[in-house]
Structure 1
Amino acid sequence: MSVRLPLFRSTGRVVLAVGLGLAVGCARPAPPIVQTKPAEVVIDNPIAREITDFEDFPGRTDAVNAIDLRSRVTGYLDSVHFKDGSDVKQGDLLFKIDPRVYKAELERTEAALEQARARDARLKKDHERALGLKGVSAEELDRIAGDKAEAEAGVAVAIAARRLAQQNVEYTEIHAPLSGRMSRRYADPGNLIKADDTILSSVVQIDPIHVNFDIDDRTMLHARRLIQEGKMTSSRVKAMEVKVGLPDEEGFSLTGIVNFTDNKIDPGTGTLRARAVVDNKIFANNSQSGEGKSSFLLSPGLFVRVRIPIGHPHASVLVPEEAVGTDQGQKFVYILNEKDEVVYRKVRLGRTINNLRVVEPDETGKLNLSDKDRVIVSGLQRVRPGVKVTPKMAEKKTDAKAVEKTPAEKKASPGSPSGEPVSQPVVAVPQSTSATPASPPGRAAGSQ
């Protein structure tokens, strides 16, 4: 007896066989593994240089000498011999007081002097004759001698009166006491001028010109400690050069010498007053002022910036601003080892020099970078420590004038036969903003 299987079992086997056949027929080989290329980064070598730290202070210009002009005699102003705001030389005639009264007084004193001299001559002859006569009493001789002495004193009095009258005549002409720049006139001709009272004008000496500035107590103490340690020279021992910047410029175009520091700190402000002297003469070469004529750049009362050096030049390393990253307040840079692998390196940053950051020694006095290291300056967001990258050297865009040369480069410099650098010294100024943070180590910048 034959047994017939149910229909659904046969159908299931058929479906299973068809499914397996389709699966086997549609199977494809696995795709090959694609090797990704290492990220391309831009690298550069740090710059090893000797730099000098600086501090900036606000300051104001002040005249070396400033004089208010007054007349020493009373009289009516006769004439003015300068233009308002003009430059004058010492001895130039500025004002003239009506001299007629004083000239008449001078003539009177001269006549009185002649009168006194005539009387003195007559009494001298009387005295000589009296001494030659035998019948003159002693009392008469004493009287004649007294008259002679009185006449001699009268001559001295007349001479003094004439000298005073002569001085008053000279005082009717007011001359420039120094070379400088005049203000406007405060009195017009015809006005009565009182002696030692009325201010006629003022003149200031502005070449050279003083620059006053205040040093805070912290900077002062820091500088004095450096002087004690031999790391800085006092301005009392050697002239200290300072830089002066003007309101219409970002840099410091003028140079001065510190010639005064006060002997005490202002208790109200906690600052020490200091002063520098700056050459203020410039030569105009345009058609308006005339070629070769001297002029002045600064005027008293101008706001300026003063930069003073703090300490001697010291060795340091500089890296581009964009090479610095931030990891929870810790500054770092990425460098490459000999296998072109990224290495995380902590750094201690100092000041900014023309978009370059100064790398300072750590707590042990050791610099964590050298000019031989290869620092990543572009592409920090695409790398992390331990990753191999493809380095590409950055184009040299650092201004040669921004960084001073090393001693060896100074000797080999073709721009100066004496070995002096043709560029300006490095200027380190306080950093007000931090570097643009890169991604912290251990993850890429785009990862979350």
Structure 2
Amino acid sequence: MKTLSKTSLALLALCLTACEKKPAGPPPAAMGPMGPVEVGVLTVATAPVTLTQDLPGRISAFRVAEVRARVSGIVLKRLFKEGSDVKEGQVLYEIDPAQYEAAYDSAMGTLARAEASLNSAQLKLNRMQSLIDSHAVSKQDFDEASGSTKVNQAEVLLGKAAVKTAKINLDYTKVTAPITGRIGISQVTEGAYVRTDQATLLTIVQQLDRVYVDVNQPSSDLLRLKQALASGKLKANGSGQPRVKLVHESGEIYPEEGSLEVSDVTVNTLTNSVTVRAVFPNPRGDLLPGMFVRARLEEGTTPDAILVPQLAVSRNSKGEPTAMVIGAESKVELRVLETPRAVGNQWLVTSGLKAGDRLIINNLQKIRPGAEVKAAPSEPAPAPAPPAANPGPAK
């Protein structure tokens, strides 16, 4: 009996010890309900915003002329400074003209002989013409004289063509600039032998007083631009062409304004894009072929635009952009938005928010729709970012 009593007492003590360890922390009466989560809010407001579109592209010369040898020979002189501006018709190279001068003189001699033969044949034909009526000469002799005259006339024509060809080749020994522009590095030096059968490249001249900027744009955007231009939303110059600004890689805006000139007639099936070409004046020569730039189109001003921070916008299971706002009784409401494009680091909202709404901008992961929240002091809506809007849905 004593052993059983000791065992029973040990079990009872163990149960009492376990029961005493169950409560962890304060008693239930001391635990109060959690308070509402404090969130930062931004009061939605409308403001005028200038919508723009930036299209990346590269600069190319307005005109490019490859200067090539049109006669074979030794280069005697280079008559320009590399990298300088040249005028159309300015002599750039001199090729040894000796053989071409000789060919020209030979052609002139051949022509003179043909003209002398023609003159003699013509005099003979004139004399026979006066005697044919009196039957002093036979009809056969007259016909032979007439045929001989025509042969001499043909030889004169051939002689003149040979002279013209020789003169052209002789002129080609002075290589001239085909256009006005800036000349590049010379590909040959004095003493080099150039050949016409290989069309030896001598140098390149590029017209840079105006330059092209070629950009690729989605075909759907091109249609939208045409509609905006037709409706007057897109600014145009006096010729009705959309006006374009140029932005350097550094963000600096080029002072001269350009115009959107032409678009390609074929859509690239791989990228579903179209090449669009803008033209910019380049009076100081600051823009060089190959430079990476952005062409900026102003698409008009929206007088009552709503802009919200991108961090305050998320997406639901359907992929729709959403935002949290504080509604009635300080409870969270979920709004589905329409955000057709970005403006800097903000979204342009066209549906789902209105002026005066209190947009929740932080602690979004701690709240759910219907939960009660406590608003921190309201912040005014941020000022619109500098015009750098790019079309596209919220992502």
Give the residue type in structure 2 aligned to 1:183.
Answer: G
Residue 315 of structure 1: CA displacement?
Answer: 2.9
Residue 58 of structure 1: CA displacement?
Answer: 2.2
Residue 91 of structure 1: CA displacement?
Answer: 1.4
Partners of 2:48 and 2:209 in 1: CA distance? 36
SS at match of 1:281: coil
Query: Hey, what does 1:86 align to over in structure 2?
Result: 84
Residue 344 of structure 1: CA displacement?
Answer: 8.7
Query: Per the alignment, do residues 385 and 78 of structure 1 end up closer, same or farther by CA in structure 2, a change over 3 Å counting?
Result: same
Partners of 1:81 and 1:376 in 2: CA distance? 71
TM-score, length of structure 1 as denominator length? 0.61
TM-score, length of structure 2 as denominator length? 0.68
Query: Hey, what does 1:259 align to over in structure 2?
Result: 261
Give the residue type in structure 2 aligned to 1:162.
Answer: V
Query: Per the alignment, do residues 103 and 333 of structure 1 end up closer, same or farther by CA in structure 2, a change over 3 Å counting?
Result: farther
Query: Hey, what does 2:129 align to over in structure 1?
Result: 131
Query: Hey, what does 1:415 align to over in structure 2?
Result: none
Query: Hey, what does 1:420 align to over in structure 2?
Result: none
Q: Does 1:199 align with 2:198?
A: no
Give a deviation string over 1:318-375, Cα, whole Å, max 9, x none: 568599798998446789xxxxx9999979585565677644343xxxx611xxx698
SS at match of 2:92: strand
Partners of 1:53 and 1:247 in 2: CA distance? 17
Partners of 1:266 and 1:354 in 2: CA distance? 29
Query: Per the alignment, do residues 96 and 331 of structure 1 end up closer, same or farther by CA in structure 2, a change over 3 Å counting?
Result: same
Give a deviation string over 1:16-69, Cα, whole Å, max 9, x none: xxxxxxxxxxxxxxxxxxxxxxxxx99999453253352x33211222222221
Of 380, 389, 392, the residue aligned with 1:428 is 389
In structure 2, runs of 5+ residues without a counterpart are 1-39, 365-370
Give the residue type in structure 1 aligned to 2:286.
Answer: L
Give a deviation string over 1:391-419, Cα, whole Å, max 9, x none: 9x98x9969xx78xxxxxxxxxxxxxxxx
Partners of 2:332 and 2:154 in 1: CA distance? 100
Query: Per the alignment, do residues 349 and 280 of structure 1 end up closer, same or farther by CA in structure 2, a change over 3 Å counting?
Result: farther
> What is the RMSD computed on CA atoms of the aligned residues?
4.5
Any conservation in 2 of the 1:51–1:314 contact (CA below 8 Å)? yes
Query: Per the alignment, do residues 389 and 105 of structure 1 end up closer, same or farther by CA in structure 2, a change over 3 Å counting?
Result: closer
Residue 317 of structure 1: CA displacement?
Answer: 3.1
Query: Per the alignment, do residues 130 and 98 of structure 1 end up closer, same or farther by CA in structure 2, a change over 3 Å counting?
Result: same
Of 287, 290, 302, the residue aligned with 1:301 is 290
SS at match of 1:189: coil
Query: Hey, what does 2:115 align to over in structure 1?
Result: 117
Query: Hey, what does 1:418 align to over in structure 2?
Result: none
296-305 or 42-51: bigger deviation: 42-51
Any conservation in 2 of the 1:94–1:176 contact (CA below 8 Å)? yes
Query: Hey, what does 2:3 align to over in structure 1?
Result: none
Which structure has more relative contact order (CA 8 Å, sep 6+)? It is: 2
Query: Hey, what does 2:350 align to over in structure 1?
Result: 360
Residue 247 of structure 1: CA displacement?
Answer: 1.8
Equivalences, count:
339
Partners of 2:250 and 2:175 in 1: CA distance? 38
SS at match of 2:271: coil
Residue 86 of structure 1: CA displacement?
Answer: 2.0
Query: Per the alignment, do residues 385 and 254 of structure 1 end up closer, same or farther by CA in structure 2, a change over 3 Å counting?
Result: farther
Partners of 1:67 and 1:57 in 2: CA distance? 28
Give the residue type in structure 1 aligned to 2:257.
Answer: T
In structure 1, runs of 5+ residues without a counterpart are 1-40, 283-295, 336-340, 404-425, 435-448
Residue 85 of structure 1: CA displacement?
Answer: 2.2
Residue 170 of structure 1: CA displacement?
Answer: 0.8
Percent of aligned positions with the same letter in both sequences? 24
Partners of 1:327 and 1:79 in 2: CA distance? 70
Query: Per the alignment, do residues 300 and 389 of structure 1 end up closer, same or farther by CA in structure 2, a change over 3 Å counting?
Result: closer
Any conservation in 2 of the 1:245–1:253 contact (CA below 8 Å)? no
Any conservation in 2 of the 1:320–1:377 contact (CA below 8 Å)? no
